[in-house]
Amino acid sequence: MRLIAVAALALALAAPAAPQTADGKVSLAGLHVDATDHDLYVSFTVDGAFTPEVREAIESGLPVTFRHDVEVVRKRTLWFDRTLVRKVVTTTVTCDTLTHQYRLARGINDEVAETQVAVNEADMMRWMTRLERIRVADPSTLEVEPDDTLYVRVKSLLQRRFILFFIPSSTGTDWEKVGLSLPDGKAHGR
């Protein structure tokens, strides 16, 4: 029994994830924050999300969901940074195998925020990986001081699979962050 567990662990650690882009990684691009007096929006694109495995799952009619964690964080000296706001944005696609249309849904914190139907794969891929102007928070409600340093960070989890049916393996991005400057000068970003 112990030999099987050791072999399964070695296999999980040695099994490479399916290559995503030319350099083999999924990445976030164009992370941008737009802060107004009463709204804080985040926009970004996920590059290299559609592997052959993901495309095959979509074309077979299985629902495929990408998860994006968006956080507004206050930097603290000599201590862990404090998360002020956390949003989980999900984009889900289900292909109707008879009509070859893609049903798309975007959720924020487990609430459906938007739905759409795409008739071609390019539109579906763009909708799943390009997130524009996702509302994160009202800056006036953030607990910050004028000299606080704020930033927004984003991480995407694109594929969760299991090796030997019980060892989880995930494909996703690293945390990307960008400084945040609030409009009334309450806090600045780095």
| Mean pLDDT score, 75-103 | 94
> Over the chain, what HEC string results?
CHHHHHHHHHHHHHCCCCCCCCCCCCEEEEEEEEECCCCEEEEEEEECCCCHHHHHHHHCCCCEEEEEEEEEEEECCCCCCEEEEEEEEEEEEEEECCCCEEEEEEEECCEEEEEEEECCHHHHHHHHHEEEEEEEECHHHCCCCCCEEEEEEEEEEEEEEEECCCEEEEEECCCEEEEECCCCCCEEEC
Count up the domains in the chain and report the number.
1
State the residue range of the domain holding 25. Answer: 2-189
What pLDDT, in 10s, does the model give residues 37-74? 889 999 999 999 998 988 999 999 999 999 999 999 99
What pLDDT, in 10s, does the model give residues 4-33? 433 333 333 333 333 344 455 889 999 999
Model pTM score: 0.79
